[in-house]
Copies of this chain bind each other. A is one copy, B any other.
């Protein structure tokens, strides 16, 4: 089941780390987690992007739709139908900024906030059940490390040092 990378001889120019690549563990974990959470989103008729919008909207005041799109790393054109849908369902407000009528001020409606809280509660409950598999110390470290990494402004590209 669990394949741990056996420690190998030291490759040229690198210290051995005695663990699989972070990405090789993170990517499957991400996929599995997203798959696991999809039923919850489906049950509430939310697409992943729509949920990302709801999540982001009340954490930081929104300036423009393009900024919102960039914040959740979505495409600025593809976010339009998502906002259309959320607006049609009464989950967000989208009104022109009186100060600059080019921009639309996007905000959560009370129903939007409620749905968001409900869905997030479901999701986080599932996540907590997942985290329960870990010993308490590792669980806290994992979450704290993840929060810290998530807070990093950006991740610089790795440099191939060995002769290309």
Size of interface on A: residues with Cβ below 8 Å to B: 87
- Chain B: minimal CB distance from A124 (Å): 5
Chain A contact residues, CB within 8 Å of chain B: 1-6, 8-9, 11-15, 17, 19-40, 43-44, 52, 55, 59-60, 73, 117-118, 120-131, 133-135, 137-162, 164
Cα distance, A35 to B73, chains bound together (Å) = 13
- Chain B: minimal CB distance from A123 (Å): 6
Q: In the assembly, how many copies of this chain are there? A: 2
* Chain B neighbourhood of A22, CB < 8 A: 33, 127, 130-131, 143, 146
Given A33-B26, A141-B140, CB of A123 within 8 Å of CB of B21: yes
